[in-house]
Amino acid sequence: MTKDKEPMVRSFHFVCLITLIVGTIIQFSAGSEFVVNKSNKGLTHVPKDLPPKTIDLDLSQNYISELHLSDISFLSGLRVLRLSHNRLQYLNISIFKFNQDLEYLDLSHNQLQKISCHAITSLKHLDLSFNDFSALPICEEFGNMTQLNFLGLSAKHLQPLDLLPIAHLHLSGILLELEGYYVKEHETESLQILNTKTLHLVFHPNNFFSVQTNISVSNLGCLQLSNVKLRDWNCHILITFLLELTRGPNLLNITLNNVETTWKCLVRVFQFLWPKPVEFLNIYNLTVVENIGKEDFTYSETSLKGLKVEHVTNRVFLFSQTVLYTVLAEMNIMMLTISDTPFIHMLCPQATSTFKFLNFTQNVFTDSIFQECSTLVRLETLILQKNKLKDLFKVGLMTKDMPSLKMLDVSGNSLEYDGRDRNCTWAESIGVLNLSSNILTDTVFRCLPPRLKVLDLHSNRITSIPENVLGLEALQELNVAANSLAHLPECDSLSSLSVLVTDYNSISNPSAHFFQSCQKIRSISAGNNPFQCTCELREFIQSIGQVSSEVVEGWPDSYKCDYPDSHKGTLLKDFHVSPLSCNIVLLIVTIGVTGLVLAVTVTALCIYFDLPWYLRMVCQWTQTRHRARNIPLHELQRTLQFHAFISYSEHDSAWVKNELVPCLEKEDIRICLHERNFVPGKSIVENIINCIEKSYKSIFVLSPNFVQSEWCHYELYFAHHNLFHEGSDNLILILLDPIPQNSIPSKYHKLKALMAQRTYLEWPKEKSKHGLFWANIRAAFNVKLTLITENKDVKT
Ligand SMILES: *[C@@H]1O[C@H](CO)[C@@H](O)[C@H](O)[C@H]1NC(C)=O
In angstroms, what CA-CA distances link 250 with 238, 244, 269, 473, 675?
20, 13, 19, 48, 145
Identify the H or E element spanning 720: helix 711-720
For residue 4 and ligand 1, the question of a CB distance below 6 A is answered with no
Q: What percent of the chain has pLDDT over 70?
A: 88
For residue 483 and ligand 1, the question of a CB distance below 6 A is answered with no
Residue 785 has pLDDT above 80, yes or no: no
Task: Among 5, 456, 480, say which to mutate for ligand 1: greatest number of ligand atoms within 8 Å of CB.
Answer: 456
Ligand 1 centroid vs 491 CA: distance in angstroms? 23
CA nearest ligand 1 atom 6, residue:
2
How far apart are the C-alpha atoms of 204 and 209, rounded to whole Å? 9
Give residue 639's pLDDT. 66
User: What confidence category does residue 762 fall into, taking pLDDT thresholds of 50, 70 and 90?
Assistant: confident
For residue 412 and ligand 1, the question of a CB distance below 6 A is answered with yes
Give residue 763's pLDDT. 84
For residue 354 and ligand 1, the question of a CB distance below 6 A is answered with no
CA nearest ligand 1 atom 4, residue:
411
Q: Which of 9, 23, 57, 59 lies closest to 39 in space, CA to CA? A: 59
- Say if residue 47 is preceded by a cis peptide, omega within 30 of 0: no
For residue 437 and ligand 1, the question of a CB distance below 6 A is answered with yes
Choose the weakest-confidence range: 105-119, 184-198, 340-354. 184-198
Of the two residues 623 and 276, the one the predictor is more confident about is 276
Give residue 655's pLDDT. 86
For residue 2 and ligand 1, the question of a CB distance below 6 A is answered with yes
Ligand 1 centroid vs 441 CA: distance in angstroms? 18
Give residue 27's pLDDT. 44
Ligand 1 centroid vs 408 CA: distance in angstroms? 10
For residue 734 and ligand 1, the question of a CB distance below 6 A is answered with no
Task: Among 411, 415, 460, say which to mutate for ligand 1: greatest number of ligand atoms within 8 Å of CB.
Answer: 411
CA nearest ligand 1 atom 12, residue:
1
Mean pLDDT rounded to a whole number for the chain? 85
Residue 188 has pLDDT above 70, yes or no: no
CB 229 within 8 A of CB 223: no
Give residue 724's pLDDT. 56
Task: Among 5, 434, 504, say which to mutate for ligand 1: greatest number of ligand atoms within 8 Å of CB.
Answer: 434
Residue 675 has pLDDT above 80, yes or no: no
Residue 1 has pLDDT above 60, yes or no: no
SS3 (DSSP) at 398: helix
For residue 411 and ligand 1, the question of a CB distance below 6 A is answered with yes
How far apart are the C-alpha atoms of 641 and 630, rounded to whole Å? 22
User: What confidence category does residue 342 fall into, taking pLDDT thresholds of 50, 70 and 90?
Assistant: very high
Of the two residues 15 and 127, the one the predictor is more confident about is 127
How far apart are the C-alpha atoms of 615 and 612, rounded to whole Å? 5
User: What confidence category does residue 515 fall into, taking pLDDT thresholds of 50, 70 and 90?
Assistant: confident
Ligand 1 centroid vs 516 CA: distance in angstroms? 29
CA nearest ligand 1 atom 10, residue:
434
CA 796 from chain centre, in angstroms, equals 100
pLDDT one-digit tens code per residue, 51-92: 999 999 999 999 999 999 999 999 999 999 999 999 999 999
For residue 385 and ligand 1, the question of a CB distance below 6 A is answered with yes
Task: Among 383, 436, 475, say which to mutate for ligand 1: greatest number of ligand atoms within 8 Å of CB.
Answer: 436
Give residue 716's pLDDT. 64
Residue 586 has pLDDT above 50, yes or no: yes
Give residue 25's pLDDT. 46
Atom of ligand 1 nearest to the CA of 454: 13
Residue 371 has pLDDT above 90, yes or no: yes
CA nearest ligand 1 atom 7, residue:
2
Residue 350 has pLDDT above 90, yes or no: yes
Ligand 1 centroid vs 514 CA: distance in angstroms? 25
Ligand 1 centroid vs 406 CA: distance in angstroms? 15
CB 100 within 8 A of CB 123: no
How far apart are the C-alpha atoms of 312 and 331, rounded to whole Å? 19
Ligand 1 centroid vs 385 CA: distance in angstroms? 9
Atom of ligand 1 nearest to the CA of 1: 14
Q: What percent of the chain has pLDDT over 90?
A: 45
611-630 helix and 584-609 helix, angle to the nearest 10 degrees: 70
